[in-house]
Structures are given as structure tokens and as C-alpha cells.
Structure 1
Amino acid sequence: MYTNLKVVQEQNPLVHNITNQVVTNFTANGLLAVGASPVMANAIEEVAEMASIAGAVILNIGTLTTETVDAMIEAGKAANEKDHPVILDPVGAGATSFRTAKAKQILDEVNVTVLRGNAAEIAHLTGEQWEIKGVDTRSGEGDVTQLAKKASELFGCTVVITGEVDVISNNQGTNRVMNGVPLLTKVTGSGCLLSSVIGAFAAVNNDVLETATSAISFYGIAAEKAAKLVGDRGPGSFQIEFLNQLSKITEDDEVLCKIERITK
């Protein structure tokens, strides 16, 4: 588990983000903290070239336009040609028909390596109707583990559903991660940054189930440490300390991983 983090820190993979306007700075700083090298390039004239040299490509539809999605597909196809991992974050899928259709278009035209979202977003992409408010999930009554398995089979990729318990599933197996704190939900872009961190880990190890699981667990551990240090000072202080703790994860922290492995 720890070796995935260590390799990221040693190799400093280039992670190409086509992400939303709200989270660009936070995402770049978070990737730097874990040891990756971020680049934010979304002009269609250069995305294919950038994607071809990046270790991973992150496609985040948080503030999508038709032009941005065209650039995402161009970048995704270029990454596919180089066999580089592509992570899709379908922010707000299910909130509007346009947003849902564009996420499905990317899934149709790009070989996505990891699909990461909350339960409502993933459910809507599979045709189920879970409640969503704006780009945030609301109460869902379904089984998240079964939803992750269903989505993985449907889309032929690793599916990560994040929430109180995070579920990671592909044709090799299913894992559940219990690391993390509620304060993460009070920081805009915490899920978006996680998608990019998963990309950084996937860039250095092609065992996607293992790398996604370790990325999510270490991410949650950093959040737990930050929350403990911040106390009741609130989400602003937590966000800053969270970046600090992402940069301080060490080999010793592996003992804090809370992972349940589910056999198929």
C-alpha cells in the first residue's frame, strides 16, 4: 500500500487536469502536496499533445461547456493511444439532462480507467434514480457496494463511489475504505482533488484496484490528522491543514488504513 505513495513521491508524475473553475487552485496544490506535478490545460488546440506526455488525465465536468467536453474527449483519446489512465469525475450527473448526457458521451467515446463520483452521480449514469441536489448527493436508499459493482460491469472500468464509506470496484474485486472525516464535505473541491490524486497513483501502478484504494485511504488519513489538529476552528483552517498533512504522509501511516476487501 505505502509503496504506491512512495513511488508517486519519487517519480513525480505529470497529471493533466481538465477540471472545473471552482477547484483549479486547490487541485494543483493538493497534487503538489502528495508529490505529483499538476498541469491545467483545456484548450482543444493543445490537450491531445499534453495528454500524450502526462502520466494520467483527469476529466472533471464541474463547470462544463460543450467546448470543454470536446477538449476532454480529445485528451482522453490521446491518453488512450498512449495507454495512460483516464479518470472521469462526472460532477453533478443527474442534476440536469445536459450534464448527464455529456458524462455519458465521454464514457462512450473514451476508454475511462476510473469513474469516480458520489452515489447519486454514479446511479444516474447507470439509469437508477438517486436523489441529487445541484452537484451534491442526497439520501439514497440503494446498496452502494452493489451499485459500484453494477457500474463497473456496465462501463468496463474501475468505479469509485465516495461517501461516508468509499467503495472501489472492478473485475478484480471490491474494496471499502473507512478513512476520512465529515469536514471533507465542507471543503469545495475535496472530491475533485481526490479524483486527481487517484490519477497520480494510477500513473505509477497499473493495478488500478490497489492504487485507487491506497490513494483513497491515504487521502482519508490526511483528513483525519488535519481534523484532529484543527479541532473546532472550522473548514477554512481544515482546508489549509489538510494540504499540510497530504504532504506529510509517511510509511508509518499505513497502519492507519481502514480497508475491507470483499471477494467477488
Structure 2
Amino acid sequence: MTIATVTAGNSWINKVPEATLLFWIIKMMSTTVGETGADYLAADLHFGLAGTALVTGLLLAGALLCQLRASRYVPPLYWICVVLISIFGTLVTDMLSDLAGVPLALSTAAFSLAMLATFWAWHAREKTLSIAAIDRPRRELFYWTVILFTFALGTAAGDWVAEGLNLGYANSALLFGGLIGLVALARYGFKLNATACFWIAYVLTRPFGASCGDLLSQPGSSGGLGFGTIATSALFLAVIASLVAYLSFTQKRLTAQRT
């Protein structure tokens, strides 16, 4: 975790965490919660896709408003936003495919283009895509917009591979896990650009986490292990809460040592 220094001429410090091992563990689990949580709210609680999207959209808007108004990285607030945007991004794709009949391949292509267009606009205005420089309001707005597209894209791509191509949840998890491993090799073995590797891995963790969530929660008849959405969501949320609490404690201790 990074406690960034204050940017010259700006009262903000970096608003997002460093991409450590804990970051990737929480990120992967949040994607799983996004998949199982959306299924639980929409199907088990009978909110429906539109109702669940409305509720989580309002919660997300409130959380993001608090996040944008904060002057520094606050672990609980940041990860609440990630979990909510994971659920909402999942629902955006599900509504397009289930309610509007948009093919998953088309959704994958559309969200890819939207994400790339946001990257282009971000770099054109700010001259950087680094997560170590989310220290201005406009950069943070670009950051969260890209995050939303990564979750929607990851959902579409994951569902397309697991269901549309009949690969299955376990094989999908192995596929996307292997791709994440290749990205890590490219970064640490061949020293490829850190920012590019980060964002590629960020996209891939969405279908990887979703495949793991479906593998754990779906019944055996559908290719899953049958633990259910409630148990899977509760387990991963408990682990996320514990890790975020640890990050908050560590941040406070480091801040106290520096003062």
C-alpha cells in the first residue's frame, strides 16, 4: 500500500492503492461478489435485473460521490466503490444480453471500444494512464469510468467464453487465470510497460473472478460446485472486509509513524 506524497500545487494525494498482492486478491474477490451478488439480488430476492441495477446504481452513485470528495485514499470507501461497481457493471452487461437481446460478442466488442476511447481521452488530456498519478479530480473521473467499462467488458467476455462458446466455468477460470499469468510474466520477466500490464490484468481478473464465482455458486447440473450465491457471496465479502480492515490499520500505523 502506498501513502503518496502531496502533489505540488494540489491538496490531493494519490487516491487509489498500489497494485500489491493484497490489491489483486481483493480485486479478484470483488469480481466474484459482483457476479454472485448480482445473481442473488436479481434472482433469489426477485429484484429483477432492472430493479437490482437501480438499487446498486443509486448506492454506487452515493459511494462514488463520497470517494470523489475525499482528499486521499481511504481503503473501506475505495473498496466499497469497487464492489458496487462490480455488481453494477455485471448488471449492465446482463441487461443488454438478457433484456435487450444484444449478443455477448457484440457487447464485448462495444465495451472494448468504449474502454479504449476512454483511455485515449484520458491520455490526451492528462498525458498519463498511471494509477500512481490519480491525484486530480479529472483523472479520478477517468479512472472510475475505465473501471466501470472493465467490469462490463469482463462480464461480457467471461460469459461469452464460458456460456456462448460452451467452455464451462472451470475451463474459463483456467483460461483467464493462465492469461493473467502470461501478463505477469510479460511484466516481470520481459519488463513490459507497467501501466499497460496493469490494465490488461485488471480486465482479465473480471472474467477470472466471475468464472470462479460461477464455479463455486452454480449447481452441479450447470457445471458448478453448488455452494450457492449466498454462501459464496458471504464468504468472499467476509474475506474482503478482513483484508480491507488490515489495510486500514496498516495505513493508520504508517501515517502515525510519519507524523
Q: TM-score, normalised by structure 2?
A: 0.32
Query: Which of these two proteins has the greater Rg computed from alpha carbons?
Result: 2
Q: TM-score, normalised by structure 1?
A: 0.32
From the two aligned structures, give the one with the greater strand fraction.
1
Point out which structure has higher relative CO (alpha carbons under 8 A, 6+ apart).
2
From the two aligned structures, give the one with the greater helix fraction.
2
